[in-house]
Structure 1
Amino acid sequence: MATTHSKPRLHNAMWPGIVGKGPDTPEPFIDLDTMLDLTAAAEVDGVKFDGVDLFMSDPHTSIDSTDDDLKVLADKLAARNLVCGSFVAPVWAPLGGGSAMGNEMEVRKFLEQVRKACVIGRKMTALGVRPSGVIRIDSAVGPDEWYKDPKAGTSRIAKTFREAGEIAAAEGQRLAAEGEICWAGMHGWDHMVRLLEEVNMPNVVGFQADMAHTMLYTLGYNSPESRIAQETDKSQIFDALKKVTSALRPWTFDFHVAQNDGTVKGQGSHDKTGRHCAADDPNGLMNIVQVAGLWMRDEKGEPTRKFEHICWDGCMFTNETMTNPQTWNKILATMIEVRNAHGWD
């Protein structure tokens, strides 16, 4: 497969080795070295992944990593000809964080996790292995709590996100709030827009679009009032996604390529959310390259050039699927198609 553009760089997500896995789940963690090796080994007609996006949580990368720990991580990446990009900050209570909509103590824990992730981001850039990337966050609380008082809930989350944005800016970082149906105030595309508008820090706090999650936005999972596609029909979903992307594209800092079959999945401690399907899943409801263009091109059809890298997300894939080298070759081929269609030099 010929590659026609050099940008954006192509990354693979490391958190599918952790999320929904581990003790009390059907599958064990996949360690970071294995995830890095699988990523580095993938190759399609001489093209390889350029880097990875990381989860700042044990057992992969501790949020309390020392400078020595980070140097080891940087060396691991460099040895595999990979860089790192965006980081997931572990803002949830089970990982030491707290609700962005919670009491003073919970919010303080949330902000401390953001601060630690931002510091790691700055240090990895200084080590020469992080040329671009954001810190990913969410509200770390479910929609049910938000529905008790939606206006107050959004205002509380917005206040926390503004404080987090100030922390990020001081470290030279930006924050991307992931629109996912399981997070309060972010569980519907219109709610997400209102939250970002209330935060009102467009150069620091933006949106992280994952195609598997944003597709579910059109169907109104967890937010029936936000539904704009009435059927799981490919053409109807594509038309609905035009409205979603038009509203959220101006806020979007970070972009995940993914597939979804219109269903949800939860595993381990992770609530039900968009099911990430294989790149060639026959039940997938999106033409991946076509839908990626809604995020990567502006209203005039020109590439936005806003993403220095794009990332594949296969969250909660089975370990059997993830340890099959062919999985990553198929994904890489899809990523190359996306870049060929919507990239630049």
Structure 2
Amino acid sequence: MSNNYPKLHNAMWPGIVGKGAPDSEPIIAFDTLLDLTAGAEVNGVRFDGVDLFVTAPHVDIDSDRDAIRKVADKIAGRGLKVGSLVAPIWGGAGGGSAMGSAEERERFLTQVRKACLIGQELRELGIRPTGGVRIDSSTGVEAWDADPEGGTRRIAETFREAGRIARDHDEFLVAEGEICWGGMHSWREMVRLLETVDMPGVVGYQADMAHSMLYTLGYNRGQDRILPPDYDWKDRSLLDAAYKQVADALRPWTLDFHVAQNDGTVFGSGDHEKTGRHCLVTDPEGKLDIVKHAGYWLRDEKGDLTGKAQHICWDGCMFPNAVMERQSTWNDILGAMIEVRNAHGWQA
């Protein structure tokens, strides 16, 4: 009998991230992405749900209960559930820096509170059985570099207060390890931040396979690099050992998991420092063995399933609209996720 856990989800934010600006492609409509997700099928298996970015024009962070019910009806009408939510905690989205002024930090917390309330409402509507709320420090690496100790302390204080808000709503928070966010831009600093927050099970790590791989290369934090500067990607044993070192350090904190692929390159966009570029499952330049390296997160150091992630989500941003609007793209992604579940899932 095939495994039915963890549930397989698709992310909705690739339809918004990197889209909509005058020099960018248009935002992909929420309904279009839902249809593509619901339409994906591999040997009779379909996606179980979606993870949401709670920002307009998909799901407005200021939605009232009636608006949330309409969103839930759209999703349920396609046979899908809701998992994790991304809170729009950045300054440009109405939030603020987690290590900024008192006003900025309060805006950050307000966005977390709104996202947790939406998550609670979706659970009460019966559409959201699993998932946390995703956050990051909303501050750049250069700003953090000016005062590393003080910066991490302030971020931790903000995260701790955000964790109390989440706990009050029966939610948990997950900080994604993306190398453009100050205080989270290396695996050692990510661990230090979570230890400083010290709210296990309430404030944890969202392991994105692609972003976490970039920790091994030391972008934006060279002293924490694991792979040598002249690393040859043909030597898979070195990558495996380095990636396992990162996973072993962060797995105890991991509450949410993104399946993804990466070609090992970075780029800068707007006010972001170097950050990771996802690539497709079928990309010949992809550096990860998706099924094998997913196991580094979904199994513990003894090889036993952790069972922490009740759903896993595909994360792929910055693809051209023409690629994202092809049904075959999502069939390929679903196929990879099914392989991950077959290798590292369970029956329930």
TM-score, scaled relative to structure 2: 0.97
CA contact (8 A) 1:20 1:269 kept: no
Deviations 1:161-202 (Å, cap 9, x if unpaired)? 000000000000000011100001000000000000000000
Alpha-carbon separation, structure 2, partners of 1:114 and 1:43: 34
Alpha-carbon separation, structure 2, partners of 1:223 and 1:270: 15
Mark the CA change 1:315 to 1:79 in structure 2 (over 3 Å): closer, same or farther: same
Alignment partner of 1:225 is 2:253: no
Deviations 1:246-290 (Å, cap 9, x if unpaired)? 000000000000000000134566654211010111101110000
Runs of 5+ unmatched residues, structure 2? none
1:51 matched to which residue of 2?
49
Alpha-carbon separation, structure 1, partners of 2:232 and 2:251: 23
2:260 matched to which residue of 1?
258
CA contact (8 A) 1:19 1:270 kept: no
1:325 matched to which residue of 2?
327
Alpha-carbon separation, structure 2, partners of 1:232 and 1:270: 27
Deviation of 1:232 (Å): 5.0
Percent of pairs identical after alignment? 61
Alpha-carbon separation, structure 1, partners of 2:160 and 2:255: 16
1:249 matched to which residue of 2?
251
Alpha-carbon separation, structure 2, partners of 1:25 and 1:14: 21
Write out aligned runs for 1:94-173 (5 A).
94-173=92-171
Deviation of 1:26 (Å): 2.4
CA contact (8 A) 2:51 2:313 kept: yes
Secondary structure of the structure 2 residue equivalent to 1:275? strand
- 1:283 aligns with one of 285, 290, 303: 285
Secondary structure of the structure 1 residue equivalent to 2:159? helix
1:319 aligned partner, one-letter code: N
CA contact (8 A) 1:89 1:117 kept: yes
Secondary structure of the structure 2 residue equivalent to 1:16? helix
Deviations 1:106-145 (Å, cap 9, x if unpaired)? 0000000000000000000000100000000000010100
Secondary structure of the structure 1 residue equivalent to 2:134? strand
Alpha-carbon separation, structure 2, partners of 1:17 and 1:37: 13
1:203 aligned partner, one-letter code: G
1:60 matched to which residue of 2?
58
Which sits farther off after the overlay, 228-237 or 145-154? 228-237
Secondary structure of the structure 1 residue equivalent to 2:262? coil
CA contact (8 A) 1:20 1:270 kept: no
Secondary structure of the structure 1 residue equivalent to 2:151? helix
The alignment yields a C-alpha RMSD, in angstroms, of: 1.1
Mark the CA change 1:266 to 1:30 in structure 2 (over 3 Å): closer, same or farther: farther
Mark the CA change 1:321 to 1:49 in structure 2 (over 3 Å): closer, same or farther: same
1:339 matched to which residue of 2?
341
- 4+ residue segments displaced more than 3 Å: 265-272
- 1:92 aligns with one of 90, 93, 96: 90
Mark the CA change 1:232 to 1:67 in structure 2 (over 3 Å): closer, same or farther: farther
Mark the CA change 1:64 to 1:269 in structure 2 (over 3 Å): closer, same or farther: farther
- 1:27 aligns with one of 13, 16, 25: 25
1:201 matched to which residue of 2?
199
CA contact (8 A) 2:140 2:272 kept: no
Alpha-carbon separation, structure 1, partners of 2:16 and 2:167: 28
Mark the CA change 1:232 to 1:193 in structure 2 (over 3 Å): closer, same or farther: farther
Aligned length: 343
- 1:69 aligns with one of 67, 70, 92: 67
Which sits farther off after the overlay, 227-236 or 244-253? 227-236
Deviation of 1:105 (Å): 0.2
Secondary structure of the structure 2 residue equivalent to 1:263? strand
Alpha-carbon separation, structure 2, partners of 1:263 and 1:185: 21
Secondary structure of the structure 1 residue equivalent to 2:282? coil
Alpha-carbon separation, structure 1, partners of 2:21 and 2:149: 37
Alpha-carbon separation, structure 2, partners of 1:58 and 1:181: 25
Alpha-carbon separation, structure 2, partners of 1:71 and 1:272: 38
